[in-house]
Structure 1
Amino acid sequence: MRRGGGELETEVADRAAPVVLAAADALPDGGTLVVASHGGAIRVTIGRLLGLAPHTWESLGGLSNCCWSVLGEGARGWRLMEHNAGTLPEPVLGDDD
């Protein structure tokens, strides 16, 4: 559904997912890509990368402010490893403890 004259969720995913894939392809082995965007754009892009049908993207839920999701690429494609995370795993790299 087009809300307030904006893009459809599928249009956002059509635009964002190829950009994320191109950036991920350009990473060196073992590299990490960080993507910052609005929660809704992240949600639909994750849905597209995971190969989920657009009518199921809402089931991923939105991202809270200052939270993130983690995807990993495996032999069978992308996998959602964390969603709407807000705390760092322990130990945090760079800590001198």
Structure 2
Amino acid sequence: MKAQARFVLADPRRRSSRCEEALAACNLEIAALRSEGLTRGLSIAGAEQLFTLGFALEQMLRDCADLERCVQELARPSPLDGAGEG
């Protein structure tokens, strides 16, 4: 639980790089499984699930990066925020 709290409170750039590192590690493991021929024993459905998981994780990482960008844009003060005051 404490590790999760640290992750949530961490600097977004650091959090994003940790996610990228985790995805890269996952991709390396899948590549190692493939190069060792260990995926050949999977059923078609099992292979589909494995590669679908990899695709889904990559898409989720892109979506999170896009969401982070949108949040940062919305968090910036608008030049119009101070207009009309004074």
TM-score, normalised via structure 1 length: 0.29
Higher strand content, 1 or 2 = 1
Which of the pair has more CA radius of gyration? 2
**Structure with bigger RCO (C-alpha 8 Å, 6+ apart):** 2
